[in-house]
Amino acid sequence: MSDLFVVEDLTVTFPTSRGPVDVVKNVSFTVGRDDTLGIVGESGSGKSMTALAVLGLLPRGARTSGSVKLDGIELLGKSERDLRSVRGNAISMVFQDPLSSLNPYYTVGLQISEMYQTHRGGSRRSARQVAIDALDRVGIPDPARRVDHYPHQFSGGQRQRVMIAMALCCSPSLLIADEPTTALDVTVQAQILELLAELQSTTGTGMIFITHDLAVISSIAQRVLVMRSGDPVEYGTAEQVFSAPRHEYTRMLLDAVPRIDDEVAL
Ligand SMILES: Nc1ncnc2c1ncn2[C@@H]1O[C@H](COP(=O)(O)OP(=O)(O)OP(=O)(O)O)[C@@H](O)[C@H]1O
Ligand SMILES: [Mg+2]
């Protein structure tokens, strides 16, 4: 069976007043079924642009080249109409800030069931049940009641759970999570990571997890791509990247990760 998701030589270019600038340069990676790829790098390294390019969601003016294949089907260059049927369906994305991605004027149930109906059709009643089940799956207590609540009635961690429920409601083959835990406190971060890892192992969804924090992906990724200034500086299995990094920059990122056995300077 072929790999689920194969990206080859992906380049993203922006026109600027000083000429074209490549913000993602010849990035290649593979995500297998059941696999999590961690993309890590400092702010501005091109992590989000990589994810947005894959979904055809880049800001106006950006150009892409290379190849992005899901189940052997090329996505780069597909029409907006075709991509719309892929987004939220075969590939879905969870963003950093759930408040700006959820509509404050609609109940979470309506937002999840609309997403479901857009791609899968069916009755309102059955879509509502899908929403209740999805909320249940991501650990929202009393989902049959909570389904009628608005985003502001949920805590930050719960809102992120709602986003994950929405992303998973159409059983995507690939889930892209772009810094989904950055806005959360450390304990809630850990709970969301645990939830994602658990959902992934039960649903078999491939996952791309984007973060600037190498420590976060050490527990969930099988493969790691390290980016700096748009360049893919290192790509390998998590084991190799963590235990025998080949690049100086990766070593530097690893050194910045606090360890439990670090001595505390008083
Ligand atoms: N509209 C644009 N025009 C030109 N350059 C842009 C545009 N949008 C983003 N960039 C540049 O693209 C580069 C990559 O940005 P990107 O958002 O992918 O970084 P990132 O790795 O996701 O960072 P962060 O960790 O802060 O989210 C940055 O240097 C940014 O300045
Ligand atoms: Mg980003």
Q: What is the CATH number of the domain that holds 92?
A: 3.40.50.300
In this structure, is residue 150 part of a structural domain?
no
In this structure, is residue 266 part of a structural domain?
no
Rounded to 10 degrees, the C-alpha dihedral 74/76/181/147 comes to -70
User: Per DSSP, what are the bridge partners of residue 247?
Assistant: none
Q: Which two structure tokens, joined as six digits, stand for 27?
A: 């990035």
Q: Identify the pLDDT of residue 199.
A: 87
Q: Into how many domains does the chain fold? A: 1
Each residue's pLDDT expressed in tens, for the chain with a length of 266 residues = 678 999 999 999 999 999 999 999 999 999 998 899 999 999 999 999 999 999 999 998 999 999 999 999 999 999 999 999 999 899 999 987 777 789 999 999 999 999 999 999 999 999 999 999 999 999 999 999 999 999 999 998 899 999 999 999 999 999 999 998 887 888 888 888 888 888 888 888 999 999 988 888 888 899 999 999 999 999 999 999 999 999 999 998 888 776 655 555 54
What is the Å distance from ligand 1's center to 49 Cα? 6
In this structure, is residue 212 part of a structural domain?
yes
Residues 6+ apart with CB under 8 A from 218: 238, 242, 257
Q: Which two structure tokens, joined as six digits, stand for 136?
A: 């249940």
User: How confident is the model over 56-78, as pLDDT tens digits?
Assistant: 999 989 999 999 999 999 999 99
C-alpha distances (whole Å) from 253 to each of 28, 62, 111, 180, 194 are 21, 29, 38, 20, 23
Q: Identify the pLDDT of residue 20.
A: 95
Residue nearest atom 4 of ligand 1, based on CA coordinates:
14
Q: Is 23 in the pocket of ligand 1 (CB under 6 A)?
A: yes
pTM for this prediction: 0.91
User: Per DSSP, what are the bridge partners of residue 27?
Assistant: 10
Give the range of the structural domain holding residue 17, as residue numbers without chain letter: 5-98+177-255
In this structure, is residue 77 part of a structural domain?
yes
Of the candidates 46, 43, 41, 62, the residue with the CA atom closest to the CA atom of residue 7: 46
What is the atom index within ligand 1 of the atom nearest the CA of 46? Answer: 18
C-alpha distances (whole Å) from 65 to each of 8, 9, 22 are 9, 7, 11
Q: Identify the pLDDT of residue 2.
A: 72
Indicate the SS3 state at residue 215. Answer: helix
Laid out side by side, the sheet with 5-16 consists of 19-31, 5-16, 63-70, 73-74
Residues 6+ apart with CB under 8 A from 202: none
Q: Identify the pLDDT of residue 187.
A: 86
Residue nearest atom 12 of ligand 1, based on CA coordinates:
23
CB atoms under 10 Å from CB of 240, counted, come to 14
What is the atom index within ligand 1 of the atom nearest the CA of 50? Answer: 18
Strand ranges in the chain using DSSP code E only, listed in sequence order? 5-16, 19-31, 36-40, 63-70, 73-74, 91-94, 174-178, 206-211, 223-228, 231-237
Indicate the SS3 state at residue 61. Answer: coil
What are the backbone dihedrals phi and psi of residue 41, each rounded to the nearest 5 degrees, phi first?
Answer: 170, 165
CB atoms under 10 Å from CB of 170, counted, come to 18
Q: Identify the pLDDT of residue 140.
A: 94
Ligand nearest to the CA of 23: 1
In this structure, is residue 214 part of a structural domain?
yes
